[in-house]
Structure 1
């Protein structure tokens, strides 16, 4: 983990700069925490501010709010040693992640269902 955290952010940046800035701030937060570098709070604030849907405009709002922001919020509660806020933040992050993943699986199943039905129909008509 330490070796991964020592990779400079500049090296992680996409040459095309296709990623929103908050991704790099979030990586910086975790590197700073793990390596016990100074400036954690300021970096966490930057990650929170840049993960706002009004700032990270190229990322779908639903993706930000359901999957990307909750771990940042959870980590914020962890760093602040906010025991009262950590449990609800964890529960919310898990619930949002689960519901998002279930919806994705159901969407895949719905898209695959017509193809499965078509194959079954095709097989049954050729068996006669």
Structure 2
């Protein structure tokens, strides 16, 4: 008997679309300026990381399903920038050649830098999953943990355990279960030191449970975890007026990435929401660009 699929619908909060759209050209100019010197400047690499991802997010305010070419180009660019800085940091050569906006760039190697923290690595991993870029994922999965620990920043212990979980998952290592259990244990609010308990429980913990359900090949459990993740994402980003207009809330990047993994592996996604842009979830621009 075929199971009837019943979608869970989670509406996204309203954004001031005209105001957001007016910001895009300003952000694009800033991003273009950063890309001009990304090959040699650490400062502009940090700026390019932040701005490229925010441009991708803000385009999905006016294009919630990410069906426009400009939206896909923005997500692809954010992925390229995030992958490039880690490729440059983990090479033993003087430089690496990376494609950014369809142009080959030679980025000077760096080693650990302040912007190469676990949070940036996780964003890079999610973006590569969303863009289905296996070569970038292979590279990211081999970034040494020492590089992230030596970046000079401070992160909660769960952040390192989650990076190790994702690396083990992608490389199919035998220690995956060990790292996953540790990530679950360390993602509880009482272990939060840098993040507050609310962010830990509503934004960081849910993707871990999604991976757990995915690994158990449990479609119903996975979609329940995905629905919870999106609801908690919305709860967090609508808790007050400032958060409601914060562009970080426009797309639930972590749940989106893991939903992309699930869909690529035959698990139906039964949650409908603008927090998960449909064209990104469906990989609607497959084959249009060489990343």
Question: What's the TM-score once normalised by structure 1's chain length?
Answer: 0.75
1:79 pairs with one of 215, 234, 251: 215
> Displacement of 1:83 after TM fit?
2.4
User: What's 1:117 paired with?
Assistant: none
Query: Highest relative contact order (Cα 8 Å, sep 6+), 1 or 2?
Result: 2
The number of residue pairs the alignment matches comes to: 109
C-alpha contact (below 8 Å) 2:237/2:243 kept by paired residues: no
Which residue of structure 1 lines up, in the alignment, with residue 139 of structure 2?
3
Residue 93 (structure 1) aligns with: 229
- For 1:109 and 1:49, how far apart are their aligned partners in 2? 30
- Tell me, in whole angstroms, the C-alpha distance in 1 between the residues paired with 2:199 and 2:224: 20
After TM superposition, give the deviation of residue 54 of structure 1 in Å: 1.6
Match of 1:31 in 2: 167
Structure with greater helix share of residues: 1
Structure 2, gaps ≥5 residues long:
1-136, 246-291
- Structure number having the greater strand percentage: 2
Q: In the alignment, does 2:196 pair up with 1:60?
A: yes
Q: 2 CA distance for matches of 1:32 and 1:60?
A: 27
CA distance in 2, matches of 1:62, 1:99: 10
Unpaired runs of 5+ residues, structure 1, are: 111-128
Q: CA deviation at 1:103?
A: 3.8
**Secondary structure in structure 2 of the residue aligned to 1:59:** coil
Distance in 2, Cα, partners of 1:88 & 1:51: 19
Shift of 1:87: 1.0
Aligned pair partner of 1:69 in 205, 223, 232 = 205
Larger radius of gyration: 1
Give the deviation of 1:59 after TM superposition: 2.1
Distance in 2 separating the partners of 1:14 and 1:34: 23
Q: Secondary structure at the match of 2:162?
A: helix
